[in-house]
């Protein structure tokens, strides 16, 4: 038996990176999966390979949220799980970043998450219960030079998660946030960001001295989406190899 047998999950930003790892593991654990993304070629290829259902999904659009949720319900008659995974990272120091660049990060990472929570409430109420996992970051706890917009969005996801957990508990809908650290994805290989980071010093500062594989996050996400985490809501879970334990000396 799988951890997620019989459940229907919508995973945003599912075409690559952590999102693709979530898709694969959820399918392995018995879920039926709808993956959304704006990367149509990669999303369709992953769907064809795995048997997931792909939908083009811009998370900043309320209309596209409605379409993605409707796709899941029409295909599988219910929606039990939402993984708010879609996100972008834009490096730029405050003095250099334009307001438009700041707004874009906030729109995708924060507004996209909020819209997702809002849109799945009714189908989850119909299903009688639900689990929402919002993917934040360790940048939701600490700041880094050049990541003011990203950190602002990830701090804010913690607040949305806690408010939603309190609002939705009467409907047996649980809401938690996951905070990855150094995960080996295309996002952390961003050229502008990596130019600003001393990679050797960064690894030396780690408690577990390596980058994580995306699936190492997926295992925690699957647990929070499952009935085994039935008493967890409004909580924050780090997958950071100990990065947030303290100073690296």
Positions annotated as catalytic residues are 150
CA–CA distance, 227 with 234 (Å, rounded to integer): 15
CA–CA distance, 105 with 113 (Å, rounded to integer): 12
CA–CA distance, 222 with 224 (Å, rounded to integer): 5
At 132, give phi and psi (nearest 5°).
-115, 130
C-alpha angle 203/133/239, rounded to 5°? 20
**Helices 17-28, 40-50: inter-axial angle, 10-degree rounding:** 20
11-25 as b/e: b if 16+ CB within 10 A: bbbbbbbbbbbbbbb
- CA atoms within 13 Å, Cβ hemisphere of 26: 33
Query: CB-based burial of residue 201 (10 Å sphere; 0-12 exposed, 13-18 middle, 19+ buried)?
Result: exposed
Chain centre distance of CA 93: 24
Q: If we measure between CA atoms, which residue out of 140, 133, 106 comes closest to residue 117? A: 133
């Amino acid at each position: 038996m799988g951890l997620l047998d019989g459940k229907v999950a919508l995973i945003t930003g599912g075409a690559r990176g952590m999102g693709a790892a979530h898709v694969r593991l959820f399918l392995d654990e018995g879920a039926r999966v709808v993956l959304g993304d704006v990367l149509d070629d990669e999303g369709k290829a992953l769907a064809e390979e795995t048997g997931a259902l792909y939908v083009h999904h811009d998370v900043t659009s309320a209309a596209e949220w409605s379409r993605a949720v409707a796709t899941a319900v029409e295909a599988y008659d219910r929606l039990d799980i939402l993984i708010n995974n879609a996100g972008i990272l834009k490096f730029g120091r405050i003095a250099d970043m334009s307001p438009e660049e700041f707004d874009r990060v906030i729109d995708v990472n924060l507004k996209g998450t909020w819209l997702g929570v809002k849109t799945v409430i009714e189908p989850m109420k119909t299903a009688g219960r639900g689990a929402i996992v919002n993917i934040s970051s360790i940048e939701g706890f600490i700041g880094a030079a050049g990541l003011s917009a990203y950190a602002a969005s990830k701090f804010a996801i913690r607040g949305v998660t806690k408010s939603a957990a309190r609002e939705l508990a009467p409907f047996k809908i649980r809401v938690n946030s996951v905070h990855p650290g150094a995960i080996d994805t295309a996002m952390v290989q961003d050229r502008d960001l990596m130019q600003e980071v001393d990679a050797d010093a960064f690894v030396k500062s780690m408690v577990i001295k390596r980058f994580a594989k995306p699936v190492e996050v997926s295992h925690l996400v699957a647990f929070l989406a499952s009935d085994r985490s039935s008493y967890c809501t409004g909580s924050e879970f780090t997958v950071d190899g100990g990065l947030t334990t303290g100073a690296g000396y």
